[in-house]
Amino acid sequence: MTAIRPYLRMVQSAGASVGVSFREIEANQIYYASKEDKRFAMYNVDLGLNDSSSFNIAKSKASTHSVLSAAGVPSIEHRFLLNANSKYTSEDVFDKAEHILGQYGSDAVVKRDDGAQGENVFRVGSKEELRDRLKHIFGLELNAAISPYRSSDLEYRVVVLNGEARLAFSKSKTGSWKHNLSHGASVGEVEPSLEAPLFKLAVQAAGSIGLVFCSVDVLNTADGLQVLEVNSSVFLSEFIKDNAQREEQAFRLFQDAFRLKFQ
């Protein structure tokens, strides 16, 4: 039998503590989660609390910004760039991207539009760099998004469950311009003075997209707090690593998420 991943084990332990049982379908990937007469197929650590429309909006960086902008929620602009090799492409995507780069003052970030964990995310400062990075992303058969680079020493992650901010922490850069924990960033606390506005912004972002359970990443920029992205699956493996107190926080969070799922 395949050993279960530590984070998945924690999530399932939280479920078991409130009466949920699990039956493996695909090791470390798909399980039947059951309680009394109810059951659902659980993919990875996603409890399926978000509907498919909200899930797909959050999966796209550009779509997330569009929805947040329409709702009046401050967020960092992300513009969608359809893969240049797509049969649906009707414009020169590279020319479009270069024009946007000029609007951003030749300091931008390009990334896969559906990306996660900082993979295939590049800071670019010239047309040559931009084209090279876009060709790389398109070569992976992915669409891209471009955004202005916004300087911020800290990035904040807020986990929202059912309209309430339940857990928050900061991410500080260590040797990279990225704030990804999987790339070496370190976890810290949230300044007390920022808690209220940060929580309010995260709850607004989740509600605007229609997400019940999600994490919201926020930058504190020269223009104030702005949503960077929204994640429709809640991954906290780096947050709880080697820290019993944080693991207890995450455990209680998932207890309540399972209770909500089986209501």
Of 233, 257, 251, 252, the residue nearest 43 (C-alpha): 233
The whole-number pLDDT of residue 255 equals 98
N-to-C CA span, the chain: 32
Q: Sign (positive/negative) of CA torsion 213, 219, 220, 224?
A: negative
Within a domain: 70:
yes
Domain ranges, residue 28: 6-48
The whole-number pLDDT of residue 174 equals 74
- Name, in order, each residue with C-beta under 8 angstroms of 182's C-beta and a sequence gap of 6 or more: 117, 118, 238
Q: Sign (positive/negative) of CA torsion 73, 208, 66, 125?
A: positive
The whole-number pLDDT of residue 61 equals 97
pLDDT per residue rounded down to tens, the chain (263 residues): 567 899 999 999 999 999 999 999 999 999 999 999 999 999 999 999 999 999 999 999 999 999 999 999 999 999 999 999 999 988 999 999 999 999 999 999 999 999 777 789 999 999 999 999 999 999 999 999 999 999 888 999 999 999 999 999 999 877 676 766 666 678 999 999 999 999 999 999 999 999 999 999 999 998 999 999 999 999 999 999 989 999 999 999 999 999 999 99
CB atoms within 10 A of CB 69: 15
Tell which phi-psi region holds residue 253, choosing left (phi > 0), alpha (psi between -120 and 50) or beta: alpha
CATH number for the domain that contains residue 127: 3.30.1490.20
Residues facing residue 144 across a β-bridge: 81, 112
Helix %, strand %, coil % of the chain (to 5)? 35, 30, 35
The whole-number pLDDT of residue 183 equals 62
Within a domain: 259:
no
**Whether residue 157 sits in one domain with residue 37:** no
The whole-number pLDDT of residue 188 equals 92
CATH number for the domain that contains residue 195: 3.30.470.20
In residues, how long is the chain?
263
Within a domain: 248:
no
Residue corresponding to tokens 């919201």: 216
Within a domain: 143:
yes
The whole-number pLDDT of residue 184 equals 64
- Enumerate helices (H) and strands (E) in the chain, giving the number of each: 8, 12
Of 259, 148, 143, 164, the residue nearest 212 (C-alpha): 164
Q: Give the residue from 122, 148, 174 where a domain finishes.
A: 148
